[in-house]
Amino acid sequence: MTIAEALRELFLPAACAACRREPSAAGGLCAPCGDALPAGPPRLAIPREREAPPVVVAGAYDGVLAEAINEYKERRRRELAPTLSGLLRRPLALTAEEAPGAVLVPIPPTRAARRERGFDHVAALCRPAGEVRRCLTAGPRPDSVGLTPAQRRSAARRSLEAVPGRAAALAASGRPAVLVDDVVTTGATLAAAAAVLRRAGVAVPLAVALAAR
C-alpha cells in the first residue's frame, strides 16, 4: 500500500468491498451490493471428498459474496465480519435442527496466515453465531491453488491436528461438532478436519461454509 492509499483509507469513508465505487455503509458494502448477497434458503453441498461431511452453504462463490470474502480475508477488512457472520446464521439454524447441541469448530488458519492477517478470520465469524471450540490447529501447508485433488488431500491431512486436550474434552462432553469454513472447494480440508475429530471420538455430522465453489 502506498502512503497516499494509506492516507485515503484513514480519512475517507472506505469504498464498498465489492464494487469499490460507492462508499460503504455499515458492514463494509454499499446498499445495492448488500442487497445482492445471497438471501435465499441455504443449500446443501456434497463435497467431492467422500470423508467430508455434507456442507450447508449460504451461497455460491461468485459476485458480491466472493468479493466480500476475499476483501475480509486477504485485505483484512474486518468491518465485513458482521455481514459475513450474519450469512452463516441460516445455515447454522439448519444444522442446529439436524445436530442439536453441536459446537462450532472453525477450520484454523496456518500460523503464517494467522500472522499475516492478524486474526483468525473463520473463528471471528463463528463467535457471534454459536458456541465455539477451537479444537484444531494447522501446520504449514502449500497454497491449494494448482494442486491436484490427491495433492490437496495429502496437504490437508499433513497440516491439520487436534489441539491436545480440547478435542478429548469435546469427545468427553458427547456433543457433536459442526465444522465451519469460509469457502468449500473439493472438501479436502473438511475431510481432513473431520478425520482428526472423529479419531478423537467426536461426531462430525455436518459442516457450514459461506460459499461453495
Residue found under cell 455430522? 205
What is the 8-class DSSP label of residue 22? S
Which window, 29-37, 39-47, 66-74, 189-197, contacts Zn ion (CB under 5 A)? 29-37
Pairing of strands 43-45, 177-184: unpaired
Residue with Cβ nearer Zn ion (21 or 115): 21
Which window, 1-9, 11-19, 121-129, 163-171, contacts Zn ion (CB under 5 A)? 11-19
b or e along 158-192 (b: 16 or more beta carbons within 10 Å of the residue's beta carbon)?
ebbbbbeebbeebbeeebbbbbbbbbbbbbbbbbb
Is residue 80 a contact point for Zn ion (CB under 5 A)?
no
Q: How far is the CB of 90 from Zn ion (least distance, A)?
A: 22
Is residue 178 a contact point for Zn ion (CB under 5 A)?
no
**How many residues of this chain bind Zn ion (CB under 5 A)?**
6
Q: What are phi and psi of 187, to 5 degrees?
A: 90, 10
Q: What are phi and psi of 23, to 5 degrees?
A: -65, 145
Is residue 17 a contact point for Zn ion (CB under 5 A)?
no
Is residue 33 a contact point for Zn ion (CB under 5 A)?
yes
CA distance 107 to 105: 7
Is residue 122 a contact point for Zn ion (CB under 5 A)?
no
Is residue 104 a contact point for Zn ion (CB under 5 A)?
no
Pairing of strands 177-184, 103-106: parallel
Pairing of strands 55-60, 206-212: parallel
Residue with Cβ nearer Zn ion (22 or 120): 22
Among 14, 19, 25, 183, binds Zn ion (CB under 5 A): 19
Is residue 16 a contact point for Zn ion (CB under 5 A)?
yes
Residues at the site binding Zn ion, with contacts judged by CB under 5 A: 16, 18-19, 22, 30, 33
